[in-house]
Chains A and B, each alone.
Chain A
Amino acid sequence: MTRYEYGGDEFIFVELSESMSLEANFQAMAITKQLREEKLPGILDICPSNASYMVRFKPEDIHPDKLISKLKELEQSVSVDDFNISSRVVDVPILFDDPWTNEALMRFRDRHQDPTSTDLEYAARINGFDSKEELIKAITDYPYLVSMIGFVPGLPWCYQMVPREQQIEVPKYVRPRTYTPERAFGFGGAFAVIYPVQGAGGYQLFGIAAAPIYQKEQRLYDFKDSITFPRQGDIFRYRSITMEEFQSIEKQVEDGTFRYLTRDITFKPQEVLENPKAFSDEVLGGLYA
């Protein structure tokens, strides 16, 4: 049952589902896309999130109850079936088990469920993998839907496009760390993230992204229109790389020549929901063709 809630006098929060699913995420995406196209007066921000969404508005221009009625109408009228998502498939190189996040996670062992192992070892064990290598393989074998952007500018929540029984799930730290390196690749709940900037964080740390996803100087090609790179609806493929490739990408970032490998894509949620394996093979085939 969908919940429509006031977030004070400037926000409406709509929880479509308490649990995460691709269906709930596609529904939030479809409703917020339609809302955006209707250009109602007084709407300041439209923020789709994982299994919910949020709207910021000016109550002088639209009464919150009127906005809620409108959103309820959209829930009825908007269908995920005839909804097209135009986005990008992106190759995101990750150095797993790297020295920088390792140093960070070792500093905060007292805040972790299992102080005696690393985050990768712990996550592999509780998800039934025999080794961290097997966990890394499961993380990198199938692509992810960027299901929400937020926390700090540009942080992508990524939800793997595999059936529920194949999903990796890990708890967040018992108490959040006060430090996470910039570009750390983390996992919490059923979500993979990259931390755009250094800061606090509670996700398990598995590795580090070679290239930035946030760049305030906007030097790289991928940042020419925005200081943040990820967009909701993107499909990210996390690819495990060697230290050698990591250093080579860092060099390209430094001299300004790095560009993410991307392919534009238009797809229907049904394609993903009906056969995630076939969809994944197809997008990865297209990306590396």
Chain B
Amino acid sequence: MGNKSRSYKAEKVIQGMGRKLNRQMVGSLLACVHCGNCTDSCHYVLANPGDPTYAPAYKADQVRRFFKRHYDWTGRVLPWWVKAKSLYTDEELEELKDTVFGKCTNCRRCTLNCPMGVDYATFNRMTRGLLVSVGIMPEGVAVVSKDQWEIGNQMGVLKEDYLETLEWLTEELQAEHGADYPGIPIDKMDTDVVYSINPREVKYDPRTISDAALIFNEAGENWTMPSEGWDMTNFGLFSGDDDLGGAVARRLYEKVAELRGKTLVISECGHGYRSTRCEGQNWAKWDINFEMESSVITMLRYIKEGRIKVDKSKNTEPVTFHDSCNNARSCGLFDEPRELLNLVCSDFREMYPNRSENYCCTGGGGAMSMSEYTPQRLKSAKIKADQLRATGATAVVTSCHNCVDGLTDLIKHYKLNMKVTQLVNLVANALVIEKEVAVPAEVVTAAAEGELAGYRILVADDEPDFVTYAATVLEDHGAVVLRAYDGDETLEIARREKPHLLTLDIKMPGKSGIEVFESIRNDPELKTMPICIITGKPELRKLIYERAVLPPEGYVDKPIDEERLLRNIKKILKPVHKDEEIESRK
């Protein structure tokens, strides 16, 4: 290898590769003939014409070159002849990080288009794992992995918050369907179904949980949700860390075994389904003794068995279906969602290409957590945007939470007139519930009127998920919510609408939250507008308070739950706006 010195991390990566290689991987690393057939199969290539560094074979060669240099005979003897090259510096590892995390979503589309059967996605994941093992990874990957290791779920949802959410959802179900309605059973033993979810559902999309609960209850299912080990997502799939993958999967399997559940039902999540249903057992080296299935299959089964009735005329909006890569290309889950869609929607339009040939939502492979690569992710999303536009649908259905986020982001970026939804929402909406319970009028009034009735609140945050979540909470309590996704838009809406309160994220595209905050405080017409900073970057707090202007009225760190959001908002609004002022605004 010459006399060139090698960094400790580079040495570890090279040694680690030797331990991770298996026959499939070695075959894939050796077999590429550089025919270029995979090139056009990658959405990054299609969206970046003329830039060969996005070509799957090129990206694969960045890994293949040090494999050849250290593990293949030609590369050892004549490295320049086969472009073999070792790794020496941490800078080279950083470059490799940008390739394996920033230029590939591990969607496996190139794999299916390779005449030789080279599974690039598999050794791209292996390389991610090697880098993670020496601490080289995007910040978001580190944060999420840490949460999954330490707290047990990838969004750091605390047990009490999770249980409170389920309790609150049970109360809502009972308010709607009667006090005797079963709600959401927790830790019930010997059930036929143990239902596992994505923590995103708890934090940002609790409606998917209540919709699922409604479906289980209407089907008369004997089911439960676990109080712990409920997260079916697995960041090990994205980070390439098999130890994390095994630990997370095992946590869930052990809980199902403890509850003596017969079937583990996995809510709609592509990587969660693949990790839990397929890869988890390999990572954990554990054979399970219960069944596992996607909730899509469960819902379809209920309809076929006559356990629930649906009326497709309740979903008349033109919808299309986006196949998650992990579901379709790695688990063969593509016919059931279509069958279900045709049963609950009256206007389903196919997207092309589809099933295992579909393009990635561009948010896969953990890309949504890697904000440093957002510009190239959104640029590559043009392919998906064109696909969506061509369907003429106004809603895109997907059985994956990652895809929900990825699609929401690109729909906003490319200004498509579409919304994203999931099958569980459509099935719940199409349910024919024969024993409707009359909801007392005062309950409706209370919900509609709410404590924040009459207030106009501007929610500014570049995370569409957060905006949707906060808006839903505030609207449920009567507020009129305005939404902004970047700094310039925030200022424009603030000047035009003069809301009663602004919730402001610090890190936003365009003008940052700090600049927006300062501009508002320096604007004679807006300077008294109450502002609540809501940020996931507590380290930036001092930047706000160091300004030579009035401090914000409120400051809250993310993650934030409903109760804390409302408590802070109400705390700010009440002293500022007296009751009579509120009345006059109504």
Q: Do A and B bind each other?
A: no
Q: Which residues of A approach B to under 8 Å, CB–CB?
A: none
